[in-house]
Amino acid sequence: MLQGEKGKEMRINAKEWKRKAREASKVGGSSYNNFQRFKKEALLSGDKTLRNEGLSLSISVIELLLPELPDLPSDLHSTNGLAVHLMPILKQAFDMSSPKFMKLLKNLSPDLLIYDIIQPWAPTAASSLGIPRVVFIIRSSSIVLIKSFNEIECKYVDHLSLLTDKKIVRVGPFVADPYCPDTEQNTMIIEWLGTKATGSIVFVSFGSECFLFSADLEEIAS
């Protein structure tokens, strides 16, 4: 792996893709412009429609804080980086937030509640207050945002658009790469990979929100 002319080509391509990713994420880059334009078009379109009716557009973000549990402090109230064995506890805390959600509905008194399958208690709460409910299903979307950019996956994203019959908006990466203190370790890994024969390494991705213990990795490897 990473040997000879093929390995040299791969390393050159990797550096070029990294450079393009950084350029795309900067202000004025292709991903930045796409994302900003998408937000602007969506908001202006709705605002124009409402203004024609003598109304105005306003979007407010309201926090729904989960209750703290002994095994789940507030800094773990997200699936991002959460260990698998804590997922049921997060689900428990999420379900326990139903009373707070009910209070929010009473205070806001919305004309309509749009919810997804992650909140099975949401329509029940809305129904008890006489608020109409609509379930949100991603398949009904007309636009899909994808964390990619033209310079790397243009033809594949275009093909995905044909397969799904939806407009694909490339918005990634959202932010520039953060400072990585483990650069030396990354270099060691690349050098180690370079000592292996072509086709001898298998890369397996379990997703960005999957946490595996050492025993799990050893069992998979065996």
CB 44 within 8 A of CB 37: no
Percentage, residues of the chain above pLDDT 70: 69
Greater confidence (69 vs 175) lies with 69
Q: Is residue 86 part of a domain?
A: no
* Domain total of the chain: 2
Q: Is residue 192 part of a domain?
A: yes
- pLDDT for 111 equals 92
Which of the listed residues 114, 139, 164 is the one where a domain comes to its end? 139
Q: Is residue 167 part of a domain?
A: no
Q: Is residue 69 part of a domain?
A: no
- pLDDT for 82 equals 77
Average pLDDT over residues 208-219: 78
Residue 147: band (very low, low, confident or very high) from pLDDT cuts 50, 70, 90: confident
Measured at the CA of 135, the angle between CA 55 and CA 159, to 5 degrees, comes to 95
Q: For residue 69, give the DSSP letter.
A: B
| Domain range for 118 | 97-139
- pLDDT for 181 equals 56
Which of the listed residues 108, 139, 170 is the one where a domain comes to its end? 139
Greater confidence (38 vs 114) lies with 114
- pLDDT for 12 equals 72
Residue 47 pLDDT > 70, yes or no? Answer: no
The rounded distance, in Å, linking the Cα atoms of 123 and 120 is 7
- pLDDT for 110 equals 92
- Region of residue 143 (left: phi > 0; alpha: psi -120 to 50; beta: else): beta
Residue 150 pLDDT > 70, yes or no? Answer: yes
Q: Is residue 115 part of a domain?
A: yes
- pLDDT for 54 equals 65
Which of the listed residues 123, 139, 155 is the one where a domain comes to its end? 139
Q: Is residue 41 part of a domain?
A: no
- pLDDT for 1 equals 47
Taking only the tens place, the pLDDT of each residue in 63-84 is 888 888 888 887 778 777 677 7
- Tokens for 168, please give them: 């694909």
- The pTM of this model reads 0.45
